[in-house]
Amino acid sequence: MIFEDIPKITAAGVTLAAVSAVSYIASKRWLAIRRERAAFDWMPERLDGLKILHISDLHGNSTEKMNLDIWSAIESLDFDMAVITGDLVVGEMEQITPHLPSIKRLARRTPVFYVEGNHEMMFFEEISALLREVGVTVLANERQTWKIGKHGPVSIVGLRDYGVLQLNRMRDSQKLLNACDGGFHLILSHQPQIFKYMKRLKLGLALSGHTHGGQVRLPGFPTLYAPGQGILPKYGDGWYSEGYNKLYVSRGVGVTLFPARLFNRPEIAVIECAREAE
């Protein structure tokens, strides 16, 4: 019986390998440009139509890892500001170097804001210095207000990675969020778990990444696993609403340990804010 099952096992293995190979090739070439809409009935009218480019989880440019040329795709997109929600690299600061000229061009075009990811925690100061040199605004547990074109002042709250925040039991981040209660803000956090700390507050739009949408997916199924949340995570990918607030979780661009994305196209998103009831 054992030997009779060998052809079946072999066939299954070949099928899985073929599916993985096709998905890997397709994922490398098929960058998804997501055009999303965030509607609020209490958002200031001047922010109606504000377009935010959201980049997350680029994960460096190692040849062993997926690395799409997102920068050429971005050149043709229309947006008012750009945010990077962490993990530009995978544990090696040098991986950001080839991307710095493109990030610099982006920062010359529009305001760019960055918050760290878990892969940047160990050298946060060094990578922040490099990004500031090319014109990026780094936010670390702070709020800044920027004038964004015709939309006027936009309040942006940037949080350090969730792992850092947990070291002091969320005290600093919760104090910051509480102080922002009642106004419309853009909340940037690499890991989406921060959203549960917003549910009793009136804050606005949160943008996160980290989960990769599961990286390996099954067609028609939600995110199966996310680091930090486990199996069937509460915040997998896409949109979530809680009270006055909305969260968008990007599937991101790159990969980590497993060098492929199965049934899961890499993405960047342009999110347009709208002042109206859904």
Among residues 90, 114, 121, the alpha carbon closest in space to that of 215 is found at: 90
CB 112 within 8 A of CB 103: yes
In a domain, residue 242? The reply is yes
Cα 124 from Cα 271, distance rounded (Å): 27
Label residue 29 exposed, middle or buried (CB < 10 Å: 0-12, 13-18, 19+).
exposed
Number of structural domains (the chain) is 1
The model's pLDDT over 94-153, given as tens digits with 9 standing for 90+, comes to 889 999 999 999 999 999 999 999 999 999 999 999 999 999 999 999 999 999 999 999
Parent domain of 265? 31-275
Q: In what order do the strands lie in the sheet with 142-147?
A: 142-147, 153-158, 185-188, 204-208, 245-249, 238-242
Q: pTM of the entire structure?
A: 0.87
User: Which of the four pLDDT bands, split at 50, 70 and 90, describes residue 198?
Assistant: very high
CB 31 within 8 A of CB 68: yes
Decide if pLDDT at 219 tops 90. no
Tell me if 14 is assigned to some domain: no
Mean model confidence pLDDT for the chain: 87
Residue 66 lies in a domain: yes
Instruction: Give me the pLDDT at residue 216, please.
Output: 78
User: When comparing pLDDT for 92 and 132, which is higher?
Assistant: 132
Tell me: pLDDT of 163 over 50.
yes
pLDDT (tens digit per residue) in 47-57: 999 999 999 99
Residue 243 counted as domain residue: yes
pLDDT top residue among 227 and 205: 205
Residues 234-257: what's their mean pLDDT? 92
Query: Which is higher by pLDDT, 8 or 98?
Result: 98
Residue 1 covered by a domain: no
Pairwise pLDDT comparison (33 vs 67), residue with the higher score: 33
Give the pLDDT confidence score for residue 159 in this predicted structure: 97
Q: Which residue pairs from 105-111 have beta carbons closer than 8 angstroms and sit at least 24 positions apart in sequence?
A: 105/71, 106/71, 106/74, 106/82, 107/134, 107/135, 107/136, 108/135, 110/53, 110/79, 110/80, 110/81, 110/82, 111/81, 111/82, 111/137, 111/146, 111/148
pLDDT number for residue 62: 47
Token pair, residue 45, equals: 């009218």
- Tell whether 105 is covered by a domain: yes
Note whether residue 4 is domain-resident. Answer: no
- The CATH number linked to 130 is 3.60.21
